[in-house]
């Protein structure tokens, strides 16, 4: 996309950035939604049924003068990823691209350890492979700013949050699935194990800032009920009690095993068991005297995920699609030895059409280093407000306070397959499972099934 810069605006932007160093008490960033359909087999195996998949993204300013990007805020990713002007692929050209030469504060980074690139030195690159494609990038350091004021300008104002970050600047990107997405990149809010190197982890940067950026290294997510007339948001520096039913007293804190969570890269809490119709399933039973399951809190994953045998056991306990479908209770460990009951009702995890239905639970085979881990995705995190505290290593969770006023959900539409074939050079969608990282992006078969479902609905 073309960007027009005038000298007066550049001068104003630089002056604003130079004066935006005050500590931010609490900053709330509104998030936009990209809603699509995820095509999957029904529970009874009679056909296929679409489930809603949502990505939450917001505006970010990078560099001096600021360049604006739309990034997905994702606790299941560990890096900030932006397309750069060096990338001439269609997927990059369809989005905003970062220009290092246009930023007075950009620093080229040679290695994953944050070593600055010296003249004549070679630089490392990294490649991330997803189910439907891959991207390759180099390392860059620059100043990033977040602001609660979402005016259509690139001016950094007092009260905005600015911090120096290392990020992956994309130089090559496959068309699938990136060209179809309205946002430009990813804002990883996961922990160290998911990052390219220590300096690339935003949460670590926030902790190391020692209250010079925000008062507390804490952030919180409010994800809109898809049927409610409200907006999603992320808050930095703390959380908003008015987003929780019962306020502060409605929030329960869950301990995070710091070393193990940081090594695996996920905000991990622990679960004692899962209950259906009040009956414990013994999901976490093992030889330990205090059996526990690990659970990752992942705002970037649409569905609930778990080990294949455990998810199958859970779905057998839930039974078929006959009404009423029972609630599911996840019993989580709380700070101080107590527990928190996270309850999902039929409307939270099931979509029903006649006598058939589809459940928002996905069996997954995770890499060996992650073990038998469960993932709480948007299915749960829309119903519950979640707070991520990197100072005390805990996650706060409480029933979100949603408005009762309804608003129709805007379903994103893909371009028609005929248009794609006539306007784009042929590119094969090919899964690279051997190199694939665990991701919520769909594989090739699911991508085209999803596309077919959307085209059928829009016909």
Please list the active-site residues: 74, 298
User: Token pair of 160, please?
Assistant: 């905005």
| C-alpha dist (Å) from residue 248 to 138, 219, 243 | 43, 15, 10
Contact 98, 63 (CB under 8 A): yes
Peptide bond into 246 cis (omega under 30): no
Contact 215, 25 (CB under 8 A): yes
Angstrom distance (rounded) from CA 63 to CA 18 = 12
Buried b (16+ CB within 10 A) or exposed e, 181-193: bebbbbbbbbbbb
CA-based end-to-end distance of the chain:
30
The owner of tokens 């409010």 is: 222
| C-alpha dist (Å) from residue 154 to 10, 82, 146 | 9, 17, 11
Contact 94, 81 (CB under 8 A): no
CA torsion 163→166→171→175, rounded to 10°? -70
**In 3D, which of 102, 53, 101 has the Cα closest to residue 299?**
53
DSSP string of 120-171?
Answer: T----EEEEE-SS-EEEEEEEEEEEEE-S---SS----TT-EEEEEEEEEEE
CA 308, 309, 315, 318 dihedral sign is: negative
| C-alpha dist (Å) from residue 230 to 97, 132, 404, 405 | 30, 32, 9, 8
DSSP letter at 33?
Answer: E
Task: Count Cβ atoms below 10 Å from residue 355 Cβ, excluding itself.
Answer: 12
Question: Which residues share a beta bridge with 98?
Answer: 84
């Amino acid at each position: 996309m073309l960007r027009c810069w005038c000298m007066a605006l550049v001068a104003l932007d630089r002056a604003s950035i130079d004066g935006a160093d005050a500590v931010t008490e609490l900053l709330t960033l509104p998030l936009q939604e990209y809603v699509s359909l995820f095509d999957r087999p029904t529970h009874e195996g009679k056909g296929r049924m679409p489930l809603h998949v949502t990505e939450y993204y917001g505006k970010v300013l990078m560099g001096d003068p600021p360049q604006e990007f739309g990034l997905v805020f994702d606790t299941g990713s560990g890096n900030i990823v932006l397309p750069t002007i060096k990338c001439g692929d269609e997927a990059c050209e369809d989005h905003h691209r970062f220009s290092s030469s246009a930023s007075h504060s950009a620093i080229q980074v040679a290695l994953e350890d944050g070593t600055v690139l010296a003249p004549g030195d070679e630089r490392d690159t990294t490649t991330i492979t997803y189910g439907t494609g891959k991207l390759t990038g180099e390392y860059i350091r620059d100043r990033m700013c977040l602001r609660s004021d979402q005016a259509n300008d690139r001016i950094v104002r007092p009260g905005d949050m600015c911090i120096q970050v290392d990020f992956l600047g994309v130089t090559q990107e496959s068309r699938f699935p990136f060209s179809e997405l309205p946002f430009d990149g990813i804002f990883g809010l996961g922990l160290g194990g998911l990052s390219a190197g220590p300096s690339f982890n935003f949460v670590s940067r926030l902790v190391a800032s020692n209250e010079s950026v925000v008062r507390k290294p804490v952030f919180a997510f409010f994800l809109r009920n898809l049927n409610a007339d409200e907006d999603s948001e992320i808050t930095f520096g703390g959380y908003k009690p008015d987003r929780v039913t019962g306020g502060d007293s409605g929030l329960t804190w869950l301990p995070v095993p710091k070393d193990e969570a940081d090594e695996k890269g996920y905000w991990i809490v622990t679960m004692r068991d899962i209950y259906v119709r009040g009956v414990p399933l013994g999901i976490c039973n093992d030889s330990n005297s205090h059996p526990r399951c690990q659970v990752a809190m992942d705002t970037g994953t649409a569905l609930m995920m778990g080990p294949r045998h455990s998810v199958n056991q859970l779905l057998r306990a839930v039974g078929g699609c006959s009404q009423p479908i029972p609630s599911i209770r996840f019993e989580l460990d709380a700070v101080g030895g107590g527990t928190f009951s996270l309850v999902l009702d039929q409307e939270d995890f099931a979509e029903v059409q006649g006598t058939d239905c589809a459940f928002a639970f996905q069996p997954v085979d995770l890499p060996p280093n992650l073990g038998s881990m469960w993932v709480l995705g948007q299915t749960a995190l829309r119903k519950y407000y979640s707070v991520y505290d990197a100072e005390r290593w805990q996650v706060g969770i409480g029933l979100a306070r949603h408005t009762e006023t309804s608003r129709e959900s805007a379903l994103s539409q893909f371009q028609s397959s005929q248009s794609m074939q006539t306007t784009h050079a042929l590119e094969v969608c090919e899964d690279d499972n051997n190199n694939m990282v665990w991701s919520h992006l769909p594989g090739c078969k699911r991508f085209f099934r999803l596309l077919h479902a959307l085209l059928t609905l829009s016909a």
